[in-house]
């Protein structure tokens, strides 16, 4: 018995010494975030793990814009109007700003349930399921969901096994980032982030302004070639406008995808819907009897104002807060799954 007590005392002393050593270097919460997101600038910026698409997208915009400002703008400023480079520059800055906002803003990540919250949710579910089994007399386990009513329509809140909580309405779990996201629209590898409640407007403005920029650059390319062809022959005009031809090809290819995406999301904004809801047919009258959209503001103008102009809600993640060692122990945080940059 004495040996047992001594051993226990030694173990507790070593654990206390470890805790005191850990407390000297406080960790921030973004360092132990359980999802696959990457954090930058000491947790101020967050993106998904796949940033290759963002780099390609940014590189394509910068290269195409550089060719446009280096070769077309000087010619058009002299032969047409000096306002043309100014308009192009404003569009270019706006596109870069929207892309950076979309990529590095928290899209609306919902924090995972703490261990006490998860245990309480599980206890209530087991109790409810046991009562149903006693009433029905069968061993069948009921599916795990909750029902909520929003403006007269009933929605089922699915239980997320990863985040250990019932997902709020319109939220969904992104398998790429391994997080539940508020008002989840889709995961976009092109910008390297999920598109959710907090960055959807920037994604929409980025796509729309990029489509406008493509049309603008394409029109300027045609104008340059036509004006040069009026001074010389057509073959010579094409030889002098190699950069314009490259820009035109890139803009045509981009417009084929970005233009359609802009039109599609314009429809979604006007109806106050998400891509996820549209694909699932959440408001499809053929699938559901009560197909009304409870989130619609009444008409397309009010929906556009609500989606694009309403204040941006604060992040639910306290990314830069310090981790309490006691909370970390109780919540069973898995530091091995964190991503540090």
3-state secondary structure (DSSP) of residue 176: coil
Residue 271 in tokens:
């109806």
**Closest to 170 (Cα-Cα) out of 139, 146, 197:** 197
Distance of CA 240 to the CA centre of its chain: 42
CA distance linking residue 26 with residue 209, whole number of Å: 43
Catalytic residue among 57, 188, 220, 251: 188
Interior angle at CA 214, CA 84 and CA 72, nearest 5? 40
**Residues contacting 3, CB < 8 A, separation 6+:** none
CA distance 124 to 230: 79
CA-nearest of 24, 98, 32, 22 to 318 is 32
Report the distance separating Cα 45 and Cα 53, nearest Å.
17
Active site residue 180: no
For helices 52-67 and 242-271, give the axis angle rounded to 10 degrees.
Answer: 130
> Residue holding tokens 């050593």?
21
Residue 114, Cβ neighbours under 10 Å: how many?
Answer: 16
Residue 183, C-beta contacts closer than 8 angstroms, at least 6 positions apart: 108, 170, 171, 196, 197, 200, 274
- Structure token pair of residue 162: 């990863």
Catalytic residue numbers read 188
């Amino acid at each position: 018995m004495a040996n047992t007590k001594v051993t226990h005392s030694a173990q507790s002393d070593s654990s206390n010494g470890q805790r005191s050593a850990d407390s000297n270097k406080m960790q921030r919460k973004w360092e132990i975030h359980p999802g696959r997101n990457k954090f930058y600038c000491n947790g101020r910026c967050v993106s998904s793990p796949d940033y290759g698409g963002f780099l390609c997208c940014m590189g394509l915009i910068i290269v195409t814009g550089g060719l446009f400002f280096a070769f077309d703008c000087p010619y058009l400023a002299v032969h047409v109007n000096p306002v043309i480079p100014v308009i192009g520059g404003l569009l270019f800055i706006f596109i870069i700003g929207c892309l950076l906002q979309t990529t590095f803003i928290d899209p609306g990540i919902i924090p995972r349930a703490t261990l006490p919250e998860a245990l309480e949710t599980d206890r209530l579910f087991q109790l409810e399921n046991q009562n149903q089994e006693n009433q029905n007399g069968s061993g069948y386990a009921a599916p795990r969901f909750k029902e909520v009513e929003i403006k007269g329509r009933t929605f089922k809140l699915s239980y997320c096994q990863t985040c250990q909580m019932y997902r709020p309405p319109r939220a969904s779990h992104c398998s790429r980032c391994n997080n539940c996201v508020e008002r989840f629209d889709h995961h976009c590898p092109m910008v390297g982030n999920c598109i959710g409640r907090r960055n959807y407007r920037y994604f929409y403005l980025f796509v729309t302004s990029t489509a406008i920029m493509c049309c603008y650059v394409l029109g300027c390319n045609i104008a340059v070639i036509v004006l040069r062809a009026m001074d010389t022959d057509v073959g010579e005009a094409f030889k002098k406008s190699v950069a314009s031809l490259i820009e035109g090809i890139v803009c045509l290819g981009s417009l084929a995808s970005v233009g359609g995406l802009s039109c599609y999301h314009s429809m979604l904004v006007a109806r106050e819907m998400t891509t996820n809801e549209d694909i699932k047919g959440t408001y499809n009258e053929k699938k559901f009897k009560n197909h009304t959209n409870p989130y619609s503001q009444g008409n397309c103008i009010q929906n556009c104002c609500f989606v694009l102009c309403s204040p941006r809600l604060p992040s639910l993640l306290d990314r830069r807060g310090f981790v309490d060692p006691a909370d970390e122990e109780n919540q069973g945080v898995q530091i091995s799954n964190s991503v540090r940059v």
